[in-house]
């Protein structure tokens, strides 16, 4: 299957089991959402997919385009086309957004072709400005240090910019909506919408329904206590917004 397939995944953090058998399929071309209360294991799933060393997979598997990624290093997963936007992006003072993105592109292209000599500055600039325009970003952002003093909205936009430039085939967006005011939320969501295509699967992790008004997921999954307890159409998100999580039982 093209896309992401998570099979009976169990994950521990510091010897505590957090995910208790997650099954999930996100086919290429579809947008899926995972909603759930805080502390339920949503970020744990995102970190496990990326291969964060703190998260130990004790059972199960995750396949990207039919191939297991669980034995791979984080950068290898990324080279296979997996992209993760984290809830709390880190600041890197001294590294500009443009430099960061250029390095990311070069690393990715070199993984495909070891002889690749690196993207030229004019070619890179053209690509970055094109994608920035798509995301309604000020070109000056490229010269600022990565996430250093960025507002919540700016951080998220830079993440989506990175996604736009790396052209992944599976994007996992962990609480991309958190801390955004309604205008920033709309711009970020529209940015994600412009990147949608039949080859890209998108998994949006969120606590709130509001970003889903813009992203219009094909399927909504509900996670409670480290398990998917319910899956359904977009109306499921609306019901959660109205009635809270009390009615879905783990
Ligand atoms: P969510 O993203 O859904 O809010 P998280 O994946 O961040 O949830 O956290 C899931 C659970 O894992 C929480 O109950 C949290 O307390 C627990 N957790 C996170 N880190 C650790 C740790 N180092 N040791 C034990 N439990 C942890
Ligand atoms: Mg989280």
Distance from the CA of 163 to the center of ligand 1, in angstroms?
26
Domains delineated in the chain: 3-243 (3.40.50.300)
pLDDT digits (tens, 9 = 90+) for 18-51: 999 999 999 999 999 999 999 999 999 999 999 9
Q: Identify which of 90-94, 128-132, 152-156, 187-191 has the greatest average pLDDT.
A: 128-132
Distance from the CA of 46 to the center of ligand 1, in angstroms?
12
Closest C-alpha to ligand 1, atom 27: 13
pLDDT at residue 179 in the model: 80
Q: Percentage of residues in the chain with pLDDT exceeding 70?
A: 99
CA distances from 153 to 35, 128, 156, 189, 229 (A): 21, 18, 5, 11, 31
Most informative mutation of 17, 35, 39 for ligand 1 (most atoms within 8 A of CB):
39
| Residue ranges around ligand 1 (CB below 6 Å) | 13-14, 16, 18, 36, 38-44
pLDDT at 178 over 90: no
pLDDT at residue 249 in the model: 64
């Amino acid at each position: 299957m093209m896309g992401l397939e998570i099979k009976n995944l169990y994950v521990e953090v510091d010897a505590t089991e957090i995910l208790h058998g997650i099954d999930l399929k996100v086919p290429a071309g579809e947008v899926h959402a995972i909603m759930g209360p805080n502390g339920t294991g949503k970020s744990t799933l995102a970190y496990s997919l990326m291969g964060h060393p703190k998260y130990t997979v004790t059972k199960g598997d995750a396949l990207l385009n039919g191939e297991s990624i669980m034995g791979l290093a984080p950068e290898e997963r990324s080279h296979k086309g997996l992209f993760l936007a984290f809830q709390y992006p880190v600041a890197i003072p001294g590294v500009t957004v443009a430099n960061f993105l250029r390095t990311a592109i070069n690393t990715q292209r070199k993984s495909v072709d070891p002889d690749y000599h690196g993207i030229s500055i004019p070619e890179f600039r053209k690509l970055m400005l094109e994608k920035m325009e798509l995301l309604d970003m000020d070109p000056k952002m490229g010269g600022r240090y990565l996430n250093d003093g960025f507002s919540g909205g700016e951080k998220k936009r830079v993440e989506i910019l990175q996604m736009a430039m790396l052209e992944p085939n599976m994007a996992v967006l962990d609480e991309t909506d958190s801390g955004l005011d309604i205008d920033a939320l709309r711009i970020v969501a529209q940015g994600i919408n412009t990147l949608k295509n039949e080859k890209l699967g998108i998994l949006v992790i969120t606590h709130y329904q509001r970003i889903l008004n813009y992203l219009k997921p094909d399927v909504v999954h509900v996670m409670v206590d480290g398990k998917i307890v319910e899956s359904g159409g977009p109306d499921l998100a609306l019901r959660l917004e109205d009635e809270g999580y009390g009615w879905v039982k783990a």
